[in-house]
Structure formats: structure tokens, C-alpha cells
């Protein structure tokens, strides 16, 4: 993708200044935004961290259950598993 | 032990120090892209939360600011993708300074409308490069791509905008 885009770039032999006309139009169309952060976001980040403890997804639990069942019904699998570790 | 290493190990105090150090930078980058202070604050919190969750992937000898900006860019991009083109990209609160008196309100709205229809990737590159005049290498770094690729996106955005504006009967100044 990157290579394709780089190639296209060369083909068009673009420069950063070719787009002055549209740049001016866009700058006139868009109101400037205030870049200053108005408040400290740490309390909000902390609340989010507390609210969403890291959970083990269901498919991990399913994998653990399947492995446990396999080892229970076929104990020799433990040896095979240990050999490959 | 240095701050980055302590953060990577999950020390919340180290993370707090980094948040206080970089939250302004992350916010200003996001608000440049989404152009809505309320949305930008929410996305900044989301970015910082994701940063903490991804702390194991952070190399302590790496550049935390650049890493944070990349995560922020991805979230801002996702936000633009989710957003329908009909929704307003540019919130103009009452009493907000108007960009320039040269363009009529109707023309400005048409240009904004055409801009909102751009694919999110092109919209981000064009906003940062043309409206915010950020250096191409910084944009490329934040978007995780090459400078050439950013230039191509800007070029494509301009090409599409020209076509759409001409269909809307607007001619760039």
C-alpha cells in the first residue's frame, strides 16, 4: 500500500506548494479550533481505568475449559503437551 | 528506574506523570483532526486509557509522545469513519471567531460539506496538512505511514474536493 502510494506520488511529481489555492479556500472555510486543553483529564482516565477492569475474553475461558476437559479425558495428552514445550 | 520503564511495568504513579505531561499534546492533536473540543476530550481520555492497556507493547527506550500521537490518530480516524457525512464536522459555537470574511457562509458550508464526504484517511491528511499546516513528516509519523503516502492522500483529497466543489458550483479562490 505504502509502496503503491509512494509510486503514485512520484508519477504525479507533486510538491508541497502545488495546493496553495485549495489550501487558502479551506483555511477560510474552517473556523480555528482552540488547541488548549481546558481541564485536567487524569481523573476521567482514572475513572475509566477503575470502571473497566481488564477482563479475560470468553474465548480464552472456552480454550481453558477445552484444554482442561481434554487433559481429564486423555491424560496422556499432558505428556505430549509437555514434550512440545 | 526511569519513568518509561516504570510505566511499562504498570506503575500507576508513572502513568499519572506521563498523562499530565502529554495530555495537552494528545488533545491538541486530536482536536486538530476532529475539530470538536467535546469529542476531542472524550477521545483523549480513550487514548490515554488505551495507552495504559497497551503498556506492555511500549519500548521504554522509545518516544512516548510519538507513540501516544499514533494511538490518538487511529482513534480520531475511527471516529471520522463512524461519523456519517451528514453530521457536522465543524462545530461553530455561538460567538466563535469566523475564519475569514472573504467567503460567504453558503460557500463555506458547501466546502465543509464536500470536505466531510472525503474518505476519513484523506480527510485526516488534508486537515492536518492543509488546514492545520502541520509538517508532513509529523503527519506521516502520527499516521504510521511515509511522507510520500501522506502527500498522495493530500493530493487525492484536493483532486476529489476540486471535483465536488465544481459540481456544487464553487470555485476555489
**In sequence order, what are the residues at sequence separation of 6 or more whose Cβ sits closer than 8 angstroms to the Cβ of residue A65?**
none
Average pLDDT (B35-49) is 96
Report the number of distinct structural domains present in chain B. 2
Cell of B35: 475539530
Kindly tell me if the per-residue pLDDT of B100 is higher than 60. no
In this structure, the answer to whether residues B57 and B106 fall within a common structural domain is no
Last residue of a domain, one of B14, B48, B83: B83
CATH number at residue B167: 1.10.10.10
Residues B46 and B106 in one domain: no
Q: Is residue B95 part of a domain?
A: no
Question: So what's the pLDDT on residue B70?
Answer: 97
Which among B112, B155, B158 is the nearest to A29, CB-wise?
B112
Check residue B94 and give its pLDDT.
44
Residue B1 has pLDDT above 70, yes or no: no
CATH number of B16's domain: 1.10.1740.10
Is B104 part of a structural domain of the chain? yes
Q: Is B110 a domain residue?
A: yes
Same domain, B123 and B62: no
Q: Does the distance separating the beta carbons of A35 and B28 come in below 8 Å? A: yes
Percent pLDDT > 70 in chain B is: 86
Do B56 and B125 fall into the same domain? no
What domain range is B142 assigned to? 100-173
Shared-domain flag, residues B8 and B52: yes
Rounded average pLDDT per 10-residue block, chain A, 85 residues: 56 54 84 92 94 76 91 87 79
What is the chain B residue with the closest CA to A44? B45
Nine-digit cell at B62? 522509545
**Is A16 an 8 Å CB contact of chain B?**
yes
pTM of the model: 0.75
**Residue B59 resides in a domain:** yes
Confidence band for B173, pLDDT divided at 50, 70 and 90:
low
**Joined grid coordinates for residue B99:** 475564519
Residue B89 lies in a domain: no
Are B65 and B133 in the same domain? no
Please give the pLDDT value at position A6: 58
Q: Over chain B, what is the mean pLDDT?
A: 88
Give the pLDDT confidence score for residue B140 in this predicted structure.
Answer: 97
**B105 and B163 fall within a common domain:** yes
CB-based contact A35:B33 (threshold 8 Å)? no
B1 and B77 assigned to the same domain? yes
According to the model, what pLDDT value does residue B111 have? 87
What are the chain B neighbours of A21 within 8 Å (beta carbons)? 172-173
Last residue of a domain, one of B51, B83, B115: B83
Amino acid at each position: 500500500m505504502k509502496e503503491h502510494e509512494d509510486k503514485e506520488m512520484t508519477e504525479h511529481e507533486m510538491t508541497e506548494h502545488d495546493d496553495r489555492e485549495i489550501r487558502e479556500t479551506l483555511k477560510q472555510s474552517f473556523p480555528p479550533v482552540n488547541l488548549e486543553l481546558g481541564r485536567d483529564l487524569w481523573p476521567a482516565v482514572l475513572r475509566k481505568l477503575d470502571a473497566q477492569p481488564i477482563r479475560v475474553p470468553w474465548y480464552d475461558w472456552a480454550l481453558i475449559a477445552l484444554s482442561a476437559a481434554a487433559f481429564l479425558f486423555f491424560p496422556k495428552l499432558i505428556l505430549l503437551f509437555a514434550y512440545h514445550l | 528506574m526511569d519513568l518509561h520503564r516504570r510505566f511499562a511495568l504498570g506503575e500507576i504513579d508513572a502513568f499519572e506523570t506521563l498523562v499530565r505531561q502529554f495530555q495537552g499534546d494528545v488533545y491538541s492533536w486530536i482536536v486538530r483532526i476532529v475539530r470538536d473540543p467535546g469529542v476531542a476530550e472524550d477521545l483523549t481520555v480513550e487514548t490515554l486509557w488505551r495507552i495504559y492497556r497497551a503498556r506492555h507493547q511500549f519500548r521504554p527506550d522509545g518516544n512516548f509522545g510519538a507513540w501516544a500521537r499514533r494511538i490518538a490518530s487511529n482513534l480520531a480516524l475511527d471516529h471520522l469513519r463512524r461519523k456519517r457525512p451528514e453530521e457536522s464536522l465543524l462545530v461553530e459555537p455561538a460567538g466563535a471567531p469566523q475564519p475569514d470574511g472573504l467567503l460567504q457562509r453558503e460557500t463555506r458550508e458547501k466546502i465543509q460539506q464536500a470536505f466531510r464526504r472525503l474518505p476519513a484517511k484523506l480527510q485526516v491528511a488534508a486537515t492536518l496538512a492543509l488546514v492545520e499546516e502541520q509538517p508532513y513528516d509529523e503527519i506521516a509519523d502520527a499516521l504510521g505511514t511515509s511522507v510520500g503516502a501522506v502527500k498522495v492522500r493530500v493530493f487525492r483529497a484536493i483532486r476529489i474536493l476540486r471535483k465536488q466543489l465544481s459540481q456544487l458550483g464553487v470555485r476555489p479562490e
